[in-house]
Structure 1
Amino acid sequence: MNIEQSKKLSIIDFLDKENVTLKKKKGNAYWYLSPFRDEKTASFKVSKKENLWYDYAIKEGGDLVELVKRMYNKHSVSDALAYLASKNITTVDKAIETAIAAKEYTTTKMNDVKLLPLSNHSLLSYFSSRRIDITIGRMYCREIHYKVEQKHYYGIAFGNLSDGNEVRNPYFKGCIGHKDITLLAHTFNEWQSGCLVFEGFMDFLAYMTLVKQQDRWFVVESPCDYMILNSVANLKRALQYLDRYTHIHCFLDNDQAGCKTVESISNVFEYRVTDESFRYADYKDVNDYLMRKKRTASE
């Protein structure tokens, strides 16, 4: 890879693959929590149109190569280019095309929606990039195909209680159908007295991967059911179902919204609630813990 090739790579897609938290979008401006430090208010801006970044706290900015050098202490351009070459980053044109498709996706009627067993290579590669076990991904998710204005799109589908589907691919996440929580029994048709609560299904899949890896520090010992909020906005709906449980284990994001959600659940169910975020206190969420934990020989 050379400098000219690197300029065609999307900074937005790179940050998504590096699991940097996107806080808001306004036009062409994407605002992130800075990848250079811990912060609660986003001060790191990316211009999608110009494909450049700027950190307002340190008053520095530049292109993707400069970002990689700054994030990973790469001392030369060649080291940064070598790092980028190892990543499957989409080009700027493709990223913009996908972003436009995502906007249409949420505002335009979908046609020819089909759910299939998960087999698409790029979707399975997306799981691998998030260190999600492929077998687990296939167990809980399906592959969804749909058309918007005669253009074909596809993604990973995760079902909810209202027969809607949370949809995710490397460039977009959203919902087809009615948005709702997902509730899964630990064993088919055998409900438990405890329940684990996750914000999104990628965190749930990450947790199930950690179960398979026998991560004894992270995994709750007693068998529990699984609730995925699919959005903290679904909290009121979730409370109706959580009332049946005597033990509620919250694995929510380490951000303001996640903390407030745990607080709201605790206010209702009091002593029944355990905030499990201490298990990943130095990480943004469960999937971030999985991605950054040291690999073992068995993985």
Structure 2
Amino acid sequence: MDEHKLDLAQLRAEIPLAGFLEKLGHVPIRRSGGELFYLSMLRDNDTAPSFCVNEKMDLWYDHGLAKGGSIIDLALLLWPELGFRQSMERILEVSGNPVLETKSAGGRQTEMSLKFPSYQILEDRPIGTNHSISAYLRSRGILSQADPFIRELYYSVKTATGEQRKMFAAGWQNEAGGWEVRNEHFKGCLGKKSMSAIPGSPDQLTVFEGMMDFLSWRLEHPGNESSILILNSVAFLAPAIQRAARYRSVSVFFDHDPSGRKATAAFLAQVSYANDRSGIYEGHNDYNEKIQHQLGDARQQRSSDAPCEKIKKR
């Protein structure tokens, strides 16, 4: 590295995530399709490997937290008590690299700069031009509801080797201008993570954890004109509760997993007139799981109703 500054892009390129986690004592439970799965080191209640590292892109994603990113993002979550500069220095210490520094009149100074973003948005298009994206949304049962809420997003990601890998996914923008991206193999966020809002009635608010759940609800409630708030992560529960106070009627559709139930309880405790509507998908983890289950049942029924060919006797 340059002796005068610590370049964040270079830090990412020189310290692979898997090796960094190994030095911290975390080993993958299983490997699948170029991805490593760990018990989450960011949560105490993880009993199944839900923390994923994509070795080619050198990116991580924690399915329980609905958060992901680079080694830099991980360090900030691993050591929240440290500042940004100290967290980056801790990465170097763990990896066996010395902390680079320069001297100035004021004493020790470490400059950190990210010269190039780790991703670049190339284009976004309306749904319908990319077969793979449409097939993914169809498999989730919400293709008919995707437009105009979801776009086809084409982007490139800088890998650990410095290569710009071109990718595409279903995506939607959040309030901070970041893109939430989903495809069959990846779930994450490009840019700053935040909530997504869809304006509607000034008196009614309907709150979801994710976009797929909102589109599943819209499939069954096409005429509802409620304002919509999509958390994109339960980490935004507090600001969602603050926003809900502006409305007279609030409906909540959170997951049936431990984090979703905890979020529902907190929401109802602070917004006394809010209603938990998750009973609609009782027996399923979330609204979209219910829709996918119904889709599977419909396919099975069509298959069983198909005429059978007559067997010719010899």
Alignment of 1:86-235 (within 5 A): 100-101=56-57, 103=59, 106-107=69-70, 109-118=118-127, 119-132=129-142, 134-148=143-157, 149-186=163-200, 191-212=201-222, 223-235=225-237
1:281, distance to aligned residue in structure 2 (A):
1.3
Q: Percent identity of the aligned residues?
A: 27
Q: Secondary structure at the match of 1:127?
A: helix
Deviation at 1:206, TM superposition (A): 1.3
Residue 100 of structure 1, CA deviation: 2.9
Give the letter aligned to residue 197 of structure 1.
Answer: V
Instruction: Say whether 1:268 aligns with 2:282.
Output: no
TM-score, normalization by structure 1: 0.60
Distance 1:114 1:99, change over 3 A: farther
2:123–2:155 CA contact under 8 A, matched in 1 = yes
The unaligned stretches of length 5 or more in structure 1 are 1-24, 33-40, 49-95, 213-220
Conserved? CA contact 1:102–1:172, under 8 Å? no
Displacement after TM superposition at 1:179 (Å):
0.7
The normalised TM-score by structure 2 is: 0.58
1:106 alignment partner AA: G
AA at the equivalent of 2:57? A
Q: Is the 8 A contact 1:197 1:248 kept in 2?
A: yes
| Structure-2 separation of matches of 1:256 and 1:178 | 26
> Displacement, 1:26?
5.7
- Flag the 1:236–1:43 CA change in 2: closer, same or farther, 3 A: closer
Q: Which runs of 4+ in 1 moved over 4 A?
A: 41-46
Bigger radius of gyration, 1 or 2?
2
Specify which structure has the higher proportion of helix: 1
Number of the residue aligned with 1:20? none
Question: Separation in 1 of the partners of 2:57 and 2:242?
Answer: 35
What is the alpha-carbon distance in structure 2 between the residues aligned to residue 268 and residue 230 of structure 1? 20
> Could you tell me which residue of structure 2 aligns to residue 259 of structure 1?
261
Residue 184 of structure 2 aligns to which amino acid in structure 1?
P
**Matched position secondary structure for 2:192:** coil
CA 1:202 to 1:246, structure 2 compared with 1: closer, same or farther past 3 Å? same
AA aligned opposite 2:298 = R
